[in-house]
A = this chain, B = another copy of it.
Amino acid sequence: MRLATLADGSRDGALVVVDRATASYTRAHGIAPSLQRALDEWPRCEPLLRALGGRLERGEIDALPLAPETLAAPLPRAFEWVDGSAYLNHVVLVRKARGAEPPEGLTSDPLVYQGGSGVLLGPRDPLVLPDAKFGLDFEGEIAVVLGDVPRGTTEERAASHVRLLVLANDVTYRDLVPAELKKGFGFFVSKPSTAFAPIAVTPDELGVAFKDGRPFLRLSCTYNGSRVGDLETGPEMHFSFFQLIAHVTRTRSVTAGTILGSGTVSNRDSERGVSCLVERRAREILEGGAPVTPYMSAGDSVRLEAFDSSGRSVFGAIEQAVVADGGTL
């Protein structure tokens, strides 16, 4: 099942079911007005949405042509956005470039941070850069949307709580990070709103490509029209989503609609490229002593898209361009 949210001017947008070709859709307001409501009432809504999707795929209902520019983030606002850092190559590489050791417990204790979730960007929303010195960067990552997950959920029991998979651009102001981390309370101003690809899919849409809580896809990253990354999302995801779920529910439960991210996708093989500029800069520092690639400036653009083994785009594309200042979003 493939779901999306029409930007209809309401706070949560309007839930639609999308066909496998990402060519047409049908509104689902008879089942739930919004994706959040569907997640709130999943046992009731899931079978109805699946049935609607089946009728759409078989051409049994009137479908409308899908225009990507009319779509918002699947959840334009969410109750929590928790982001992991499960691709350890990224952590090791970035720390190595600044002469730091990998953190203790790197392979046993997941790194996660709590992000802002009240305003989430759609796939074509501009990336606002209020100050060129902020050091704007993108981060391509896969995330899961959860149902209600009780405190103390084990890795073994986590699978049943994964409702959907999505693709995110975890936008970062890199040059605001060091001062903020020094304060010890985690990221805040260094993490502006995160953006999402338009289509949220149920795990069964990935088939065998969702295995043991890891998505086995190819993440394509195109920067200013040039391919900078063609990454494997599966093999090097050290902590699975199931392990991340166990970690985040260690001391509290999370509510339906919580989004949990993998962290920026990263592969050890440098030939595969990057899904964020900081990693490219880290490789440049390690090879030549200094970064060559600048962070994003006004007019730069990024495209993030994930493909399955048949070459089908799973989530649709994130396509964002930088604007020097978009006023107040």
Contacts and interface: CB of A to CB of B under 8 A. Distances in A.
Nearest to A76: B255
Nearest to A78: B79
A176 interface: yes
A43 interface: no
Nearest to A326: B151
Taking each of A103, A115, A153, A188, which has the highest tally of chain B beta carbons within 10 Å of its own beta carbon? A188
Interface in A235-254: 247-248, 250-254
Interface of A: 11, 40, 77-80, 82, 85, 103-105, 109, 111-119, 128, 130, 134, 150-153, 173, 176, 181-193, 247-248, 250-258, 328-329
Contacts of A153: 328
Contacts of A151: 128, 130, 328-329
Contact of A111 (B80, B173, B185, B255): B185
A103 B181 CA distance: 11
Contact of A183 (B82, B103, B150, B252): B103
B254 A119 contact: yes
A114 to B, nearest CB: 4
Contacts of A187: 114, 185-186
25 contacts: A79-B117, A79-B118, A80-B117, A103-B183, A103-B184, A105-B183, A111-B185, A113-B188, A114-B114, A114-B115, A114-B116, A117-B117, A118-B254, A119-B252, A119-B255, A134-B251, A181-B184, A185-B186, A185-B187, A188-B248, A189-B251, A190-B251, A191-B252, A192-B251, A253-B328
